[in-house]
Amino acid sequence: MKTQTLNNTEEVINKTERITGSEAIIKCLIAEGVDILYGYPGGAIMPVYDELYKYRDKIHHVLTRHEQGATHAAQGYARISGRVGVAMATSGPGATNLITGIADAQIDSTPMVCITGQVFSHLLGSDAFQETDIVGISTPVTKWNHQVTKASEIPEVLAKAFYIAKSGRPGPVLIDITKDAQVSELDFQYKKCTGIRSYIPVPKTKPDAVKAAADLINAAKKPMIVWGQGVILGQAENELKAVIEKAGIPAAWTILGASAIPTSHPLNIGMVGMHGNYAPNRLTNECDVLIAIGMRFDDRVTGSLNTYAKQAKIIHFEIDPAEVDKNVKTDVAVIGDSKDSLTQLLPLLNTNSHESWLQKFNDLYDIEFEKVIKDDISPTKEGLTMGEVLKQINIETKGNAAIVSDVGQHQMIACRYADFNITKSNITSGGLGTMGFALPAAIGAKMAAPEREVVAIIGDGGYQMTIQELGTIFQQKAAVKIVVLNNEFLGMVRQWQQLFFDKRYASTEMTNPNFVAIAEGYYIKAKKVTKREELADAVKEMIASKESYFLEVCVEKEDNVFPMIPAGASVSDIRLS
């Protein structure tokens, strides 16, 4: 009899046994190596929870305080571990509450499997209590979804779900399971999915395309790399570093690509995009060859497509053919896994250095430092800045922490100023821009990597969208460090209102509660900082804590994040003030 060892348990995978659909679901999860499951019970999923109770020594269930929190926690788990995150909810509102997290995972290519309960199959379409067409609702935001109405379908469907979620370009999968499928019996046997006809998750890299890319790079006088999360998802960090160093190419990153290469690397020229660094944005429109690796030319990176890198030859390394030529026309497309493609590229590259070209980036960085960075991290003004908080966190964590940020000004500051020495260290909501992401995502990240310091950087607006997950932190004893940068505004919207709407601060000023008292109400140690002389000791105390810790830092109310590319403008039009 063949067995497979998973999570210190021995799970039979080719023995047939008569069990219920609910037990089959749990056995499928165990066979896939699931050790943590985030969810919220309810009537239509209760049989599964009953079986889960019996297997609680093999799968740890985390009761979040809202189903959205379960999806974000599963995302955080997946992003830091590289494994599939799993979330579970009941039918109706339980299922619909998953949608924001699913949509976030879809656009940010996060592997996740969501399981929802559904009413009995004979009630489908009758508007039964807590019935909703979650398959129809989730179709646009899932990589694949499926409704199970028979217990016998469960093993094959769940095997496909995990395979699809984690293969190729990862993404979320939703499996909706009717209650009769959960309580009926089946002859259970589990076989992992290793392929699906007509589904080619990783296209084979064509050597001719790699050779064409190498020829362009070798002939370039002013080459520039922009890498994205595809490098991290493809585990190609070492290959990217080798390519950059051999060819001497300045390399910039998108926010989801941050941490693939250490911040301190001399060829790491910073972040591109709306609030990215001055040099890589400006010089995008001066390079002669632009090499995009595992990124999708998002509008926040390109600005106006009519003026984006028109002088350059474009090389696009990408696993998803649908992304090639979607926004930016390429001269050479290398389709395939980033690790394999870069491995093939490396021996074809000439050893080179582009010192005068790199110096241009350094010169523009000096300008940005004098006009922006210096005042952000070492301010002379009375009020605290978000940048100096990140600087202090860098000092205490030595750049080894995983930074989980929400969405807004604090997110851009965190991405700009956090030091990243370790890959998978920048966990944030990129494409969807989901406020409320950080607190539950930090829970998932900490539970997946308990040995790492996990620091959540959150604004006072987004924090209150999922503040109830403090209860999950307390119950799970997750040692997450929470930093709320409180400017009493929805800061990013306020910045746009100041710059483009004549300071009409419509519905952006926040009257906030006593955040410290709320954290203490959840038995989490908390402190509030209002003065610069208090900051260093408070951050040091927070990082030294072996338990969860909440730190509120009151920052300047009307500070703005610069540089900034105005919406729809060219990357060349990036503003320093």
Residue 67 lies in a domain: yes
pLDDT band, very low/low/confident/very high, at 381 (cuts 50, 70, 90): confident
- Residue 371 is given by DSSP the state I
Amino acid at site 364: L
Q: How far is CA 397 from CA 75, 385, 541, in A?
A: 23, 19, 12
Contact criterion met (CB below 8 Å) for 486 and 551: no
Indicate if 239 and 152 belong to the same structural domain: no
> Which residues touch 434 (CB under 8 Å, ≥6 apart)?
72, 100, 101, 104, 407
**Is residue 68, in this structure, part of any structural domain at all?**
yes
Same domain, 425 and 344: no
**Same domain for 404 and 445:** yes
One domain, residues 390 and 260: no
Same domain, 402 and 350: no
Please say whether the beta carbons of 267 and 291 come within 8 A.
no
Structural domain includes residue 368: no
Query: Among 191, 207, 233, which residue terminates a domain?
Result: 191
∠ CA 309-492-563, rounded to 5°: 40
The model carries a pTM of 0.95
Cα–Cα distance measured from residue 30 to residue 517, given in angstroms and rounded to the nearest whole number = 40
Q: Residue 492 is part of which domain span?
A: 382-554
CATH of the domain at 510: 3.40.50.970
Averaged pLDDT for residues 423-442: 98
Tell whether 475 and 408 lie within a shared domain.
yes
CATH of the domain at 250: 3.40.50.1220
Q: Indicate whether 334 and 236 sit together in one domain.
A: yes
CA dihedral 152, 155, 160, 162 (to 10 degrees): 150
Residue 87 lies in a domain: yes
Residue 227 CA, distance from chain mean position: 15
For the stretch 146-197, pLDDT in tens is: 999 999 999 999 999 999 999 999 999 999 999 999 999 999 999 999 999 9
Question: Is the distance from CB of 444 to CB of 473 less than 8 angstroms?
Answer: no
Q: Which residues are catalytic?
A: 67, 129-130, 179, 492
Tell me which residue of 177, 391, 357 sits closest to 283, measured CA to CA.
Answer: 357
Residues 179 and 34 in one domain: yes
- Report whether pLDDT(11) > 80: no
- pLDDT tens profile 304-316: 999 999 999 999 9
Shared domain for 401 and 516, answered yes or no, is yes
The answer to whether residue 200 sits within a structural domain is no
Asked if residue 488 and residue 448 are part of one domain, the reply reads: yes
- The count of structural domains within the chain is 3
Residues 163 and 283 in one domain: no
Q: Is residue 287 part of a domain?
A: yes
Query: Are residue 28 and residue 166 in the same domain, yes or no?
Result: yes
| 153 within domain boundaries | yes
Give a yes or no: residue 300 inside a domain.
yes
